[in-house]
Amino acid sequence: MVSQELLEILRCPNCVREKDGMLKLYKDAWLVCQDCGRKYPIVDEIPVMLIDEGDKWIQTAEDKLPVPPPSK
């Protein structure tokens, strides 16, 4: 599980240059950017904060995201 302290400092790597890029935790398995909609998986309790990874899931609705996320 991602700690609340980590959630408070993490930002979407795509948005952080232009706006806040705030993330919300979804089912303890995904971080979803509230600005651009990119979704970053949490694999083995480590957020995978790569723009390319977020791009893979941008068109997937939150309720369709696999839980747990695939591990590559």
pLDDT of residue 65: 97
Task: Report pTM.
Answer: 0.90
pLDDT of residue 72: 66
- Which range, 6-10, 21-25, 49-53, has the best average confidence (pLDDT)? 49-53
Q: What is the mean pLDDT of the chain?
A: 91
Which spans in the chain are helix H? 4-9, 51-56
Q: Mean pLDDT, to the nearest integer, of 47-60?
A: 96
Domain boundaries defined on the chain: 4-64
Pick the CATH number of 4-64 from 2.80.10, 3.40.1350, 2.20.25, 1.20.140: 2.20.25
pLDDT of residue 59: 96
Task: Report strand pairing: 46-47 vs 30-33.
Answer: unpaired
Q: Mean pLDDT, to the nearest integer, of 26-54?
A: 95
